[in-house]
Amino acid sequence: MEHSVAEPVDVICQFNKDGGIIPLRVRIVEDDGEYHAYTIQSYRDMSYRGAYTTSGGVFVSNSTLYFECNIAVLGMLRTIQLYYDTGSRQWKITV
């Protein structure tokens, strides 16, 4: 699970009563072509902090929802970054 470029990804999310998005699960296509689903253990909402380039090399603005998430992979916590473009309605991931 090594991704250096933001790639499209499947995400299951929940909406809270204020309209905010909570990412719950992510489904990633591994290098072998198989899908693997992971439950998000914890997340931090990094949205609405202006326009900048993230440590993953992705440009985000106030129209991009950006989450740093922890998932368990083979018993170890891994940090991933999820991006939701509100214009194209597409989720992307960097690891």
pLDDT of residue 31: 85
pTM of the entire predicted model: 0.88
Domain that includes residue 84, residue range: 7-94
Strand partners, 91: 84
Say if CB 20 and CB 47 are below 8 A apart: no
Provide the percentage of residues in the chain whose pLDDT is more than 70: 96
Q: Does residue 54 have a pLDDT over 80?
A: yes
Instruction: Give domain status of residue 63, yes or no.
Output: yes
Number of domains in the chain: 1
Q: Is residue 2 part of a domain?
A: no
Q: Is residue 32 part of a domain?
A: yes
Asked whether the predicted pLDDT for residue 3 surpasses 60, the reply is: no
Q: How far apart are CA 20 and CA 83, in angstroms?
A: 14
Residue 1: inside a domain, yes or no?
no
Decide if 66 contacts 54 (C-beta within 8 A).
yes
